[in-house]
Amino acid sequence: MIAGAAMLMASNAIRMERAAVERRHMLDTATSGLDREIFYQSEKAREYVISGNPEYLEDFNAGVVNLNDTRAMLGRVNDAGARQEELSTLMTAVDMAKTLVNDQQRAIEAYQAGDIETARQMLFSDHYEGELSLIDSTIMRFQALLDQRTQVDVEQAIIRSRFWRVMSEVVLAATALMFLCVLYFILKRRILRPVVKLSDVVTRLAAEDFSVEISEFRHMDEIGDMAEAVKVFRENGLERLRLEEKLEQDLKLRNLLSRMTHRMQACESKKEVANVVRLFLPAILPGFPGRMYLFDENNSVMRQVCDWREPLGSAMTFDPAECWAIRRGAPHRQGGEQTDMPCQHMFKPDAPEEQQANEIATLCVPLTAQREVIGLLYCEMPEGVISIEDEHYVFMMAENIALSLANMHLREELHDQAMEDSLTGLSNRRKMEQRLGTLLSDARETTQPISCIMLDVDNFKSFNDTFGHEMGDRVLMEVASVLKSHTREDGLSFRYGGEEFVLLLPGVEPGEAVRRAEIIRKEISALHFMFNGTPIDKITASFGVATTPNHCPGNKLIMTADEALYESKENGRNRVTKAMLSQGEDMVA
């Protein structure tokens, strides 16, 4: 009885350890999605103040309702056994999230009131990023508290388990010795052999060798009871080992997935994202070959950007309509134990369709960003099935890949907006400074000249005062169109500021630059505008032309062209003036 009690206590300690792990899992389940919901809200608010798309506002408002309903989540956390400190930390994160939502709503109200700059500043400021980071760190602290408590509970359970295992070993050894001494003379053949077997089993179990097999004992006596207790102890040990292995494997996969996500967020091109996927995905899902596709907007096809583990099926490129997952906007499984329509991109061009359907069990997961399919994650299942856990990891990776690509696209759009004048479509002054730096660097190697034409629309302020800013904007857009038609490549005409424009002409000598400026001046003078049915007097512009190294060093090219423009203004406007090297340089009218 003492031995059985010791073993039952050891079994109870293992159950306590398992309960700690299960409680941790329940708390994870109860609070899952909170951090994603918070950052999802932030993304939708930002996308709305950037694009003004009302769909983002609807998504934001729907998310606000979900985020505000925290009573159910807190109830689940409390039912799962969370402590007061953990509940307090989680509640702090929820309160900060609600505060952040209030900031987002104020930014949206500012945007809707027309104060776009303030709205964007509120959602893209360092303070706002700091609040997001603080919420993230609070949630991580909540997770850390759970991990700490789970670790303490598990360690205590392990200590109890080891203690009672040692006690059971001692008691069982003593019991076995006593039975051997007493029953050796009484029931030698009936008792000795079972006791020897049980002693060997107990010894191996004490060394945590749970692979030992326990023979069936049909005796309805103490030997049978002891064998049953040892069997229970072994089963609990096997279950504990299984849980430990599963927990370790799950932690390893989560660390890999987290590392993969961080690397993708730091990528600056789709090629880098493809390289990250090619490296990490085989480590996360070693038994599943596959490919990743991205949508080629120029050719309207899905194009492979990487593969892993030598997949057998699927074409390198295919029409999006050939994949059922892309058609439905949802994961699509076929083959193996799943009976469903095979995707057309699985078929080999030279084989009949009936010979190819369901030959390979596959899982296609669309990569979706902003409700648009931007790619596809294709996985093959050699064994015909995929576990729920592995399928969950596939979905998580597809979501993270799509999010990384969407963030990259958003960064590119923001960069383009920062470098472009929204009214004229020309590059702005910041872009001009970058492009001029590149041209000057190239010119130092090729020794080719770089000419600069700077022009200013004459009397533009009085024109705006007379005819209004809308008419003034039309004039600036028409002038920009003229400039675009006189550059050999995109990105060489710029709006310098206000009514001033700049053209950079690499490889153009001063005389040719003056000739082009004169042509542009005449085309601008030929522009015609009507205001309330009445023709407007012709629009003119003054020009200044400078060339490096002919007139000035490269770092003074814009300033020299500006001085020549000023001279055109002083000499009566509507003319082209070339920067001078000496008193003998002339003005071209």
Main-chain dihedrals φ then ψ at residue 319, nearest 5 degrees? -70, 135
Rounded to the nearest 10°, the torsion over CA 210, 215, 220, 225 is -10
499 given a catalytic annotation: yes
The residue with tokens 């990259």 is: 408
Burial 329-366 (b: 16+ CB within 10 A, else e): eebbbbbbebeeebbebbbeeeeeeeeeebebbbbbbb
| Rounded CA Rg of the chain | 37
Omega within 30 of 0 (cis) for the link into 549: yes
Alpha-carbon distance of 59 to 345, in angstroms, equals: 34
Marked catalytic residue, from 17, 86, 391, 499: 499
450-457 and 493-497 strand pairing: unpaired
- From the list 61, 462, 10, 366, the residue with the least C-alpha distance to 202 is 10
Question: What six digits make up the tokens of 216?
Answer: 């069936």
Contact 104, 123 (CB under 8 A): yes
Counting Cβ atoms within 10 Å, is residue 475 exposed (0-12), middle (13-18) or buried (19+)? buried
Rounded to the nearest 10°, the torsion over CA 546, 549, 550, 552 is 60
Question: What six digits make up the tokens of 518?
Answer: 């004169």
Q: Which residues are catalytic?
A: 499
